[in-house]
Amino acid sequence: MKPLLILLSTFTLALIIIKLIYKEYYFALSARIAMAVMLLFTAIGHFVFTKGMSMMIPGFIPFKTLFVYLTGIFEILLAIGLCTHNLKVLSGYALIIFLLLMLPANIYASINNVNYQEGTFNGNGLAYLWFRIPLQILFIIWTYISTIAIK
């Protein structure tokens, strides 16, 4: 829920600030800024909740902690790319693929009741997916529209 709130509030704030500065609305730019801020927020979780995020990764994948750190760094790089004119489209495609690849980890975490913030198995379980899957779809559509569909 927090990433969605950050995304929407940052979008609104960016839209207002850009309108005040440029006297026009730039929806795609505001949307990219909002997604970048949201990615920076979620990237912090990779370094603060490393143990719990490692628990979201299925057992057959080695080097879980390293994987969590690398995906956090990747989110930071994607955030920078979304705000870089020459990299926004490439970053958009990369982010869409990244979001699709991370969905199985969210499904695995839900099935196993992982609470990534506490690093325990007392999470919300499958009920979490009723929110997470539509949220993931929203992030993908948001990214597509703001980086690929609108030039």
The per-residue pLDDT for range 51-109, each reduced to its tens digit, is 999 999 988 999 999 999 999 999 999 999 999 999 999 999 999 999 999 999 889 99
pLDDT of residue 125: 84
Residue 33 lies in a domain: no
Q: Where are the alpha helices (DSSP H) in 1-126?
A: 2-22, 27-48, 50-55, 64-82, 88-111
pLDDT of residue 130: 86
pLDDT of residue 151: 64
Residue 29 lies in a domain: no
Nearest to 38 by CA among 71, 7, 9, 15: 7
Mean predicted confidence (pLDDT) in 128-138:
89
Q: Where are the alpha helices (DSSP H) in 83-145?
A: 88-111, 127-143
Angle subtended by helix axes 127-143 and 88-111, to nearest 10: 170
Query: What distance in Å separates the CA atoms of residue 64 and residue 41, rounded to the nearest whole number?
Result: 20
> Which tokens in the block code for residue 132?
């997470």
What's the domain range around 142? 44-149
Mean predicted confidence (pLDDT) in 28-35:
98
Residue 66 lies in a domain: yes
Residue 84 lies in a domain: yes
Residue 101 lies in a domain: yes
Residue 3 lies in a domain: no
Mean predicted confidence (pLDDT) in 122-130:
85
Quote the mean pLDDT of the chain. Answer: 94
Q: Say yes or no to pLDDT of 131 above 90.
A: no
Percent of the chain exceeding pLDDT 90 equals 79
Query: What distance in Å separates the CA atoms of residue 111 and residue 127, rounded to the nearest whole number?
Result: 9
Q: 35-50: per-residue pLDDT in tens?
A: 999 999 999 999 999 9
Residue 127 lies in a domain: yes
- Residue 36's φ and ψ, nearest 5 degrees, are -65, -45
Query: What distance in Å separates the CA atoms of residue 134 and residue 72, rounded to the nearest whole number?
Result: 22
Percent of the chain exceeding pLDDT 70 equals 99
Inter-residue contact 143 to 99 (CB < 8 Å): yes
Residue 96 lies in a domain: yes
Q: How many domains does the chain have?
A: 1
> Which tokens in the block code for residue 33?
């800024």
Q: Say yes or no to pLDDT of 4 above 90.
A: yes
